């Protein structure tokens, strides 16, 4: 039987400190937390994946987070 774990995500949106609660059966990575925050704060989220032959200074997900004003993301278990 799997156990449902509770996580708290602390982050900043345009410099303002905020928190978000998340439940998951698997450990939550920082990238998963970032995707959840983008879904929460971006009006019409769209997934963009960098092509393997493209070399960007910053991955697309990180660029989207920066454009949305997300920063300082920390995930901690609440169980």
- The overall average pLDDT reported for the chain is 85
In this prediction, what percent of the chain has a pLDDT beyond 90? 52
Taking the alpha carbons at both ends of the chain, their separation in whole angstroms is 17
Q: Label the pairing between strands 16-24 and 70-77.
A: unpaired
- 61: CB partners within 8 A, 6+ apart: 31, 34, 35, 38
Domain coordinates in residue numbering, the chain? 5-77
Which pTM value belongs to this model?
Answer: 0.76
């Amino acid at each position: 039987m799997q156990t449902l774990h509770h996580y708290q995500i602390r982050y900043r949106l345009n410099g303002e400190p905020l928190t978000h609660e998340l439940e998951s059966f698997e450990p939550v990575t920082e990238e998963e937390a970032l995707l959840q925050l983008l879904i929460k704060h971006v009006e019409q989220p769209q997934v963009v994946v960098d092509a393997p032959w493209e070399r960007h200074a910053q991955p697309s997900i990180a660029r989207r987070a920066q454009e949305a004003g997300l920063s300082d993301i920390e995930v901690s278990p609440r169980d």
